[in-house]
Structure 1
Amino acid sequence: MAIPNYQNIMLPLLKYAVDGREHSMREAIGALADQFNLSEDERKELLPSGQQPLFDNRVGWARTYLKKAGLLAAPKRGYFEITEQGINVTRQPLREIDVRFLNQFPDFINFKSSKKPDDNVITEFDEISEKTPQESIELGYQKIRQELEIDLINRVKNISPEFFERLVIDLLIKMGYGGSRRDAGKAIGKSGDGGIDGIIKEDKLGLDVVYIQAKRWNTNVIGRPEIQKFVGALYGQRAKKGVFITTSSFSQEAKNYLSDIDIKVVLIDGQELAQLMIDNNVGISTVSIYEIKNIDSDYFIDS
């Protein structure tokens, strides 16, 4: 079955704690995953950021909302237990618990009213959304990033070949290649050896080198012949490593060809180029920074 949203998890989580014992979040997540018959892939599915399993995050937010309503308590870090008020709720013939249901509890109303007046839209969103607040933030971030990738590669496709050469240098240096910028500037674009645009140090000491091919194309798909030409040039130099960078894309035949050769060649298409530029802050600037914070439970341990 599909991974349940955090509101659908609230009632099963509350009933799980009805025995009155302290329960760890880890054991609760496992028990609820079994109850919802989640597959291994569903249990391992991650948030867009890749930093936490999606189901774990939703169980965490279900617990948070139940705590805000006074139905669960947190006796110590990573554990929870049901309250008397929570036990009374489980005695009702309920089919589900959602944010609207929690609005009857004063503690939850106080939690919501602690938000600024301008946050009414957020409150209404909480009541109808199937996603946790953290999921909504991460999905919003991913959408902004995807739009930035599209805008970025369109801009790169329209710069001059000389500017593209400098962009490649800046990116490789930010990624830790090329030694100094002066060394990289000398290497890229100076080879002139059929199929090779430049040679750059793999590390700052120059213990190994990487051969570069860069194609600033608007629409052309890079096919197998272009990759074969590059690989042939690498063999001619007795090179072991190469990187082919393009603003376009690579055909499946071109990708398949590389699995049959000994030389290590990395293909970077327009989409990945844009992603690398964003990750390494090349050609972009930061507009806003948002920090997601949590209580440091260790700080409040009275020794």
Structure 2
Amino acid sequence: MGRKEQNAPDWYNQFGMNRHIDAKEVNMPASSVSNFNAKLSRIEKISVIAILIALKEFGGPTKAKLVKDRATEYDYYTQEERDATGNSGYGILDLHLQFAMSNLKRAGLLASPSRGVWELTDEGKHVNFSTFDIWDDVYAKSIPVWEAAKAKKKQKQKAAKKLSLDEETTNDITSEEFVNDIDEGEVWRKELLNKLQRMNPYKFEELIVSLMRKIGIKMEKTPKSGDSGIDGIGYLRTPELLTYKVVLQTKRFNKGQVTGPDISNFAGSISRHNADRGIFVTTSVYTKDAVERSRQGANLITLINGEELIDILYDNQMGVREKTIVVIDDDLFSED
């Protein structure tokens, strides 16, 4: 089930994908149910199944990036869906995959043992695809959790307003249930991506060169002009005492994608500098052609897109840190 060679049209007729749900019948908000019934929800429903299949194949806790990469390889998506981006350059498919993960988590099929890592719960491991139903097994469970979280948030905002709490207090004091119900990972990630895309381009280059140093590459930033688009040149020494010359190029995009010709031009710069490896970093994403060209020739090119850049910045604690949240147990201080 769910292998890459399976035909998407045959697959799509399974799992109750074409079911129409009546909001009155299920006693849920019409807006939430209408989203499930909408044609635009097709890609997200597909993503729910693709994520389950990918995690079953990995067999254990796996980084979200690897899970989503595996899911996008399946033939359930068109190439247009894989390449589509929003105005900010954010991958639309990636966004749907993240929503799918959130719904699977709220349905009890996925868990996150640590930030950025996902695994199947016991229930998720025992999913039977021959009887699996996208509504009964996922959305009928996840929608009420979404609605409960929204209601609790509104209740707390109302209480905060009534008590005239300042913004800082409101943000730092919250209930444990609400903290657990929020996918805090996506809020800060989008904010950070927006900040990266709005950076001064020269400051962005300096940031990435500093990041390269942090991960162990002795790199210097090149002059602003006259270096064929190369932003940094450095040397990486491995534990085996091998040294590689590395060149860096960055593209701070607000929208659009890095294309095949961009990568080919960079490959030429690698050769001109007699380098062994190239690293290309963007705040956007890469076209399929760009990915294919990065794997051709003698000098392989490492591609880092906006989502991967956020992960690397977080892992190296560069401009990103976790803030301890004060949690008050409302049940312990009940007024009733």
**TM-score, normalised to structure 1's length?**
0.48
Q: Larger RCO: Structure 1 or Structure 2 (Cα < 8 Å, ≥ 6 residues apart)?
A: 2
Larger Rg: 1 or 2? 1
